[in-house]
Amino acid sequence: MMGYRLDRLAVLIVDDNQHMRGLVRTILESLGVSQIIEARDGAHALEKMGQAPIDLIIADWNMEPTDGLALTRHLRTSPDSPDQFVPVIMLSGHTERARVTLARDAGVTEFMAKPVSARSLYARIVSIIENPRPFVRTNGYFGPDRRRQMLPFEGQDRRKPSGAHAASPRG
Amino acid sequence: MSGEKPKGAVEVIHPPNKIKARVGPAGKGMDPNLLARAEAAMVKAQEQVDFPSQANPELARAAATVALLLSDRENQAKHLSTLFNIVHDLRGGGGNFGYPLVTRIGGMLCRYLEGRTTVSMAEVEVLRSLVDAMRAVVGNKLKGDGGSVGQELCTGLERLIV
């Protein structure tokens, strides 16, 4: 069966726990990813992103000094961001709804609760490939569209496309 | 970044799908063979990690932090944050390296601490019990769900934090 050429991806793993980095690396290598870069925290990740283009980031939430949330916010909103649109999968032991909402509001693309499994990580990578989410910019937010499902809703749709990459909001 | 937008204005951007362009058009969904290979490799990698050797020093640090909640009360907020971070990491790792009981008890502690900046003496004792329970689980290498001992332990702790 011909599948996606995951061997062409450059993936950055950001975690302060080397065992967890090793585990994620093992999964990625088994899926065929050959270019895997590791970083200890958010600041280290930005340093690594300055050295080589990255297609996907898998970041832990809790890290010191720069955690995964701060890294995501920097990527989405800082003028110094190396890539505002890079997909971010956030790994976390946090499963509380408020925490998941916080991650979503920082601009993560996918949230993944620990313990990590090969299936859940693979599923999220495939989801990012097959169902890319549009980005939205408001006064208080820039990041992937937080409305996961394109459900009809009551009232006026105030979202309007713009820019060179814009397409129909319903597209 | 563009300037200030009118209140309620939302701009939608469809960035190019760089990942899709890179991995090519040939795939669809998850390849079951690839998934099986990744799952097998993961099990092997998990078995090679000695979770107690990384958890024990962290649990000792957690116990010392609980002691500080009483001896250094004016800095309780800082110590609670430290305790939360230590236990949160253990909670994340436990389930991946054969100790789901650490994840379960760590989850109780994190929920108990959520949003707190101060704790009473009685509450410190609850925290101490939870940290001691995690130390007992790791110290006695209670892997998996810990059997009946593990279940009893968790049931007792759940009553404690209600």
Across the interface, do B14 and A166 touch by the CB < 8 Å criterion? yes
DSSP A24: H
For residue A168, is pLDDT > 50?
A: no
Closest CA in chain B for residue A163: B13
DSSP helix/strand/coil, A148: coil
Which residue is it, tokens 């009893």? B152
Across the interface, do B11 and A94 touch by the CB < 8 Å criterion? no
Nearest to B34 among A31, A85, A136 (CB): A31
At residue A100 the predicted structure's pLDDT band, cuts being 50, 70 and 90, is: confident
CATH of domain B52-161: 1.20.120
Distance CA A150, CA A145 (A): 10
Reported as a single tens digit per residue, the pLDDT across B36-53 is: 999 999 999 998 999 999
* Mean pLDDT for chain A overall: 86
CA distance B62 to chain A (A): 16
**Residue A69, pLDDT score:** 95
Mean pLDDT across A6-17: 95
Q: Which residues of B touch A134 (CB under 8 A)?
A: 12-15
Q: Could you tell me what percent of chain A has a pLDDT over 70? A: 85
At residue B3 the predicted structure's pLDDT band, cuts being 50, 70 and 90, is: low
At residue A2 the predicted structure's pLDDT band, cuts being 50, 70 and 90, is: low
Mean pLDDT across A156-164: 47
Q: Tokens standing for A11?
A: 């993936």
At residue A164 the predicted structure's pLDDT band, cuts being 50, 70 and 90, is: very low
Please state the domain extents for chain B: 52-161
Tell me the pTM: 0.84
Q: Which residues of B touch A95 (CB under 8 A)?
A: 107
**Residue A165, pLDDT score:** 42
Test mutation, A25, A26, A95, A96, chain B, max B CBs within 10 A: A26
Distance CA A20, CA A22 (A): 5
Q: Could you tell me what percent of chain B has a pLDDT over 70? A: 96
Nearest to A19 among B38, B93, B114 (CB): B93
**Residue B154, pLDDT score:** 92
Q: Which residues of A touch B34 (CB under 8 A)?
A: 3, 30-32, 122
At residue B6 the predicted structure's pLDDT band, cuts being 50, 70 and 90, is: low
**Residue B107, pLDDT score:** 92
CA distance B105 to chain A (A): 12
DSSP output for B48-74: T--HHHHHHHHHHHHHHHHHHHHHTGG
**Residue B5, pLDDT score:** 61
Nearest to A126 among B18, B29, B45 (CB): B29
Distance CA B90, CA B54 (A): 9
Q: Which residues of A touch B144 (CB under 8 A)?
A: none
For residue B133, is pLDDT > 90?
A: yes
CATH of domain A6-144: 3.40.50.2300
Reported as a single tens digit per residue, the pLDDT across A48-78 is: 999 999 999 999 998 889 999 999 999 999 9
Reported as a single tens digit per residue, the pLDDT across A86-96 is: 999 999 887 77
Reported as a single tens digit per residue, the pLDDT across A106-144 is: 999 999 988 899 999 999 999 999 999 999 999 889 999
CA distance A70 to chain B (A): 16
Reported as a single tens digit per residue, the pLDDT across A127-137 is: 999 999 999 99
What ipTM was reported for this prediction? Answer: 0.81
Q: Which residues of A touch B31 (CB under 8 A)?
A: 1, 3
